[in-house]
Structure 1
Amino acid sequence: MAAHPTDIAVGRRVRELRVRAGLSQQALAERIGLSFQQVQKYEKGTNRMGASRLIQIAGVLNMPVEALFEGLETSETTTRPSDNEDVLLDRDAARVARDWIRIPDQSTREIVRDMIRTLARTQTSGGNH
């Protein structure tokens, strides 16, 4: 599997900050309990770093963990959850889903569904926000 661009960018940032701190890959590896080969893989982006590892590396580099992400480009597609995730995260949507399940009559469900769709369209097409 090819390295993800974000993993490559974070790896480069780790390398940049490590070099700036005057540490070799070996020195960083020893401080975080890894082989220098593993640090090398992190810096190339071929292996992903988990949150705890990022925090550990930032600590050794005496930087806030956010510094490892500086310069990363973000777009709505990478930072915004999908519509399905929005529903899962929204308490009101969860309540509506629970109430929906309790409507036994199919024709009533269709009326409610059509009403929601109509409201959603008017809100997103320049109506009230």
Structure 2
Amino acid sequence: MTHPVDVAVGRRIRFRRWMIGLTQQQLAAEAGITFQQLQKYEQGANRVSASRLFELALALKVPIGFFFKDLEEDGIRLEDIILTKEACELLKAYHTLPEAVRSHFMGIAMSMTAGTEIE
């Protein structure tokens, strides 16, 4: 049975990989593992060792703490973060916009959610 922390770490690996535009094959090669192993990490099916997590953090250019962000103290109950491919693509597109356009886009998005509680 997969542990929720392993699933959360895997989601973070996948999220960051998408955000910087790497394929599974590219990241796996940088980390010195097979892409099948990376798939298992991203799905939370296999637990990532400390040394492997260190290598992945270097390849993804993030601090180790990035993988544990949003975990609650007990390590079991996790914040439910939307890390879908669509959400990642939206974030990537948003960050390519000029600052003025991003500001306008945020204004539109905020007005659309007015009165709607987002958890």
Q: TM-score range by the shorter chain?
A: 0.5 to 0.7
User: Which structure shows the higher helix fraction?
Assistant: 1
How far, CA to CA, are the matches of 2:40 and 2:10 in structure 1? 8
User: Aligned-residue CA RMSD in angstroms?
Assistant: 1.8
Q: Percent identity?
A: 48
In structure 2, do the counterparts of structure 1 residues 75 and 9 end up closer, same or farther at CA, with 3 Å as the change threshold? same
How far, CA to CA, are the matches of 1:74 and 1:10 in structure 2? 15
- Give the alignment's TM-score, normalised by structure 2: 0.60
Question: Which position in structure 2 is the counterpart of 1:12?
Answer: 11
Pairing of 1:1-129 with structure 2 (within 5 A): 2-75=1-74
- Give the alignment's TM-score, normalised by structure 1: 0.56
Q: Between the two structures, name the one with larger relative contact order (CA 8 Å, sep ≥ 6).
A: 2
Superposition deviation, residue 11 in structure 1: 0.4
Superposition deviation, residue 73 in structure 1: 2.1
The question of whether the paired residues in 1 share the 8 Å contact of 2:54 and 2:64 is answered with yes
How far, CA to CA, are the matches of 1:40 and 1:60 in structure 2? 16
Superposition deviation, residue 74 in structure 1: 2.2
Whichever residue aligns with residue 19 of structure 2, its letter is R
Whichever residue aligns with residue 33 of structure 1, its letter is G
Aligned pairs, how many? 77
| Unmatched 5+ stretches in structure 1 | 79-129
Superposition deviation, residue 76 in structure 1: 8.3
